[in-house]
Amino acid sequence: MNASNTSPASPAALPRIAVLATGGTIAGAAPDAASTAGYQAGALGVNFLLDAVPALASVARIDAEQVASIDSKDLALPLWNTLAARIDALAANGDLQHYRFCKQKLTELEEEEIHPEPLLRGRDLIAMGFVPGPTFHIILKQVEEAQLGGELSSREEAMEWVHRNYRNEGKR
């Protein structure tokens, strides 16, 4: 009788995934997990985040690179260029078509398309019953990231998102 082989695949047989980290909210941290006071975006390194999911090593060979450790709002053209160049180098094919495409799009797009007007501002949070404080920045940053990621597209959706995710935090 043959026993089935359930051992994990050899590392060489696993797909390779490159992670280029720039920081942002996913890498943010605060001194106290129960409070947003002292929150800093981009505080955690890529290896810290990947170590939090040890099962990844059984499904892929992950090459992580910390390209920057910044708040997403600070992600500007020079860093986009760096990321494009790193992606091309990792692909190791010398093909710069994606880099050129990104550069061309930057010349074609209006600033409003690249960085649209915020769906919510501090005055909107005040109108929703929030008290101005450190939570404002975090809420507005997360709404902006969801907007840029295409998850939120209207003021109403943003307000619903805030009510759902922050219904009791920072309110009067």
pLDDT digits 0-9 by tens, 76-103: 888 888 888 888 787 766 555 666 677 7
Give 97-151 as a DSSP string.
Answer: HHHHHHHHHHHHS-HHHHSPPPS--HHHHHHTTBPSSHHHHHHHHHHHHHHHTTS
Whether residue 40 sits in one domain with residue 21? yes
Contact 128, 162 (CB under 8 A): yes
Question: Is residue 151 assigned to a domain?
Answer: yes
Question: Is residue 81 assigned to a domain?
Answer: yes
Whether residue 152 sits in one domain with residue 103? no
Question: Is residue 172 assigned to a domain?
Answer: no
Two tokens, residue 120: 């919510």
Q: Where residue 73 falls among pLDDT bands split at 50, 70, 90?
A: confident
Which domain, by its residues, includes 141?
Answer: 122-165
Question: Is residue 5 assigned to a domain?
Answer: no
Across 6-10, 31-35, 54-58, which has the greatest mean pLDDT? Answer: 54-58
Query: In degrees, to the nearest 5, what angle opens at C-alpha 75 toward C-alphas 141 and 99?
Result: 140
Whether residue 111 sits in one domain with residue 127? no
| Residue 146 burial (CB count, 10 A) | 18
Find the catalytic residue in 6, 25, 82, 107: 25
Contact 53, 64 (CB under 8 A): no
Number of H helices, E strands in the chain: 7, 2
Question: Is residue 132 assigned to a domain?
Answer: yes
Question: Is residue 30 assigned to a domain?
Answer: yes
Closest residue by Cα to residue 171 from 112, 136, 132, 130: 130
Question: Is residue 28's pLDDT more than 90?
Answer: no
Task: Please give the tally of structural domains in the chain.
Answer: 3
Contact 28, 141 (CB under 8 A): no
Question: Is residue 9 assigned to a domain?
Answer: no
Residue 107 a catalytic site member: no
Question: Is residue 2 assigned to a domain?
Answer: no
The Cα–Cα gap between 18 and 64 comes to 6
Condensed to tens digits (0 to 9), the pLDDT of residues 112-126 reads 667 788 999 999 999
Q: What is the share, in percent, of the chain residues with pLDDT greater than 70?
A: 83
